[in-house]
Structure 1
């Protein structure tokens, strides 16, 4: 039985390592994709995981499957498609390590996952099913994601959701809002950023978290605040944890996903329903996740930037 099964994109992040005199970057290929980053953190922190998705039947696709295999993340739910290229994301960084993305995805293999290709046995065997919105941007992956979520809920699984907003991938902001709203209504546990809350409702993180609890049926909310930390909430109460200070940020790629996976790893250890966590239990989970995510920003990449648990505990 797997602790967590995620559905979604597995892709190559091309990150700049240097720039020539004319401004052209030298890029390094790295394994990424929000669900992959999320599962890498879970796997590092003692959970068993698997991914459902699609890559191209090409060199990058084979590398990505090999990377997940080497980490112990289950890959029998990943399809290699000879008719589509593995999705690629080109990352640009500002002076503080914050990133923006351009995607080669017209279409990318991740958008081509069909409903009939979903490995339902993986969902049947898991404790938590996780998804994000990149698999909701295009068909047939949108219908496949909706079918997988419906099946997970029928099976009584906890559902975890991360909006992971990437505006360039949507036809319009209204389309993005519609699909994010759908995802939020499906979820028991939500990791959402302050920027995403502002985008959806124009609210503060604290107000957004309470809205999710009251109006969407969400049971546990992590509203991340970038370098400031995270606000957490469930029906037992709420609070905030600051990120550790004094760390040199190189690249924030994947930090939010690693926060989500790290938080999920600690939540599962408690073996409690998400709505039953005490404020102090939520605070401990969130502190661990803030530290793990912050440490991941000290190097490039997503999947490969998850640090061992002893390094997280050293700064807790």
Structure 2
């Protein structure tokens, strides 16, 4: 049975409805990916690495993790901190904008929990996934410890998957984000970027240019998400453009990339080839964006 750890921040999500009242749920890019990975590929052991508090919302959050059959052995509980919170707003095309309250969230001090015992547990996995958001929320003075942790994982043979998932609010400036992303690329076996990330940070406009930019890093598997233009794949020195059928009725684009990542990872860990994995991941994303919220009801998420 394959085993993967996904690292990042799960937050309290607030959203408004047509009656201008607030709905409360939980979401976060690594968590969203983990949920859809597990739903699509139940035999895979899906583990979370994060930190939350001991408050009522944190307790509800961990119950949700368990309900989604995600392993919580490395979900650490900080007695003095709370989870982050954000408010999401949608425009009439389903595009989202965010306001965040996360500057003192429990996960910012995640590296204090990574002792020898925790590291040993992490090294007994097949894959480790993180994102640019995961990296950004770590206290800046602790990021060197994160890279040391990745050194140990790579030495143990754990494969690394990374999605840049750039959010400008989380970085001091673009130069800081570029420096850390380029360090992440050095460790990455599977890169799952969107063209928009590179457009913002490097003025790169096309998937082909993203692939050219990444070539010096010798990334084994490059899966470039490019919206309605499809997915551009580079694997084992083979290039393939895979077209995606557009969705006519978009309700909420939240978690489109996260659901794609989760299902793609699950498909590859289950032995499916790149083309079939992309097709399945794109189908998952298409389902998700036709419903409101990052995590859609289980009954509508069917890939059969």
Q: Common fold, TM-score beyond 0.5?
A: yes
**Partners of 1:262 and 1:215 in 2: how far apart?**
27
The answer to whether structure 1 residue 282 and structure 2 residue 277 are counterparts is no
Q: For the Cα contact (< 8 Å) 2:257–2:285, is it kept in 1?
A: yes
**Correspondence for 1:12:** 12
Question: Who is 2:288 aligned against?
Answer: 296
Bigger drift between 177-186 and 222-231 goes to: 222-231
Partner Cα separation in structure 2 for residue 157 and residue 78 of structure 1: 20
Residue deviations 1:66-102, cap 9 Å, x none?
A: 1111111100101111211111121111111111222
Q: CA deviation at 1:202?
A: 2.1
Say if 2:110 is the partner of 1:113. Answer: yes
Alignment CA distance shift 1:216-1:308 (3 Å): farther
Within 2, Cα distance between the matches of 1:48 and 1:304?
21
* 1:253 is aligned to 2:254: yes
Which of residues 4, 23, 29 is equivalent to 1:28?
A: 23
Equivalent residue, structure 1, for 2:207: 205
Contact (CA 8 Å) 1:262, 1:289: kept in 2 or not? Answer: yes
- After the TM superposition, which residues 1-316 of structure 1 pair with which residues of structure 2 at under 5 Å, given as runs? 3-18=3-18, 25-46=20-41, 47-117=44-114, 119-137=118-136, 138-139=138-139, 142-203=143-204, 204-212=206-214, 214-270=215-271, 281-304=273-296, 311-313=302-304
Root-mean-square deviation (CA, aligned residues, Å) is 2.1
Comparing 281-290 with 187-196, greater Cα deviation is found at 281-290
Query: CA offset at residue 157 of structure 1?
Result: 0.8
**CA distance in structure 1 between the partners assigned to 2:142 and 2:31 by the alignment:** 17
Query: Counterparts of 2:297 and 2:163 in 1: how far apart (Å)?
Result: 19
**What SS is found at the alignment partner of 2:121?**
helix
How far apart are the structure 1 equivalents of 2:27 and 2:5? 16
Q: Is the 8 A contact 2:94 2:252 kept in 1?
A: yes
CA distance in 1, matches of 2:119, 2:298: 28
Conservation of the 8 A alpha-carbon contact between 1:197 and 1:205? no
Gap regions ≥5 residues in structure 2: none
What is the SS of the residue equivalent to 1:244? coil
Please state how far the C-alpha of 1:216 moved relative to its aligned partner.
1.0
CA contact (8 A) 1:296 1:306 kept: no
* DSSP-derived class of the 1:293 partner: helix
Alpha-carbon distance in 2 for matches of 1:307, 1:149: 37
Q: 1:8-41 CA distances to partner (integer Å, 9 max, x unpaired)?
A: 111122222225xxxxx43222221111111111
Instruction: Quickly say closer, same or farther: Cα 1:112–1:286, change in 2 above 3 A.
Output: same
